[in-house]
């Protein structure tokens, strides 16, 4: 908790860590009374990028005589 907070269920003191329900935790976080200890990370499955393959042409060189 960043700030001391209270509701009918109890009092949560500043500078302490509490294990509370997600719903209540989100309310405290939105009110600025708490910060999340576990960062919320939303990830997407990312396909690997295809490697660019250059077309193979004729080797450089002059005309054969």
Average pLDDT over residues 42-55: 72
Tell me what pLDDT residue 28 has.
86
Distance CA(55)–CA(62), nearest Å, equals 20
pLDDT at position 47 over 80: no
Distance CA(42)–CA(29), nearest Å, equals 18
Average pLDDT, the chain: 79
pTM > 0.85? no
pLDDT at position 20 over 80: yes
Contacts of 7 (CB under 8 A, 6+ apart): 24
């Amino acid at each position: 908790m960043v700030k001391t907070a209270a509701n009918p269920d109890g009092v949560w003191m500043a500078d302490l860590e509490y294990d509370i329900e997600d719903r209540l935790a989100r309310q405290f976080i939105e009110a600025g009374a708490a910060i999340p200890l576990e960062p919320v990370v939303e990830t997407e499955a990312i396909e690997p990028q295809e490697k660019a393959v250059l077309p193979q042409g004729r080797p450089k060189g002059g005309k054969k005589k």
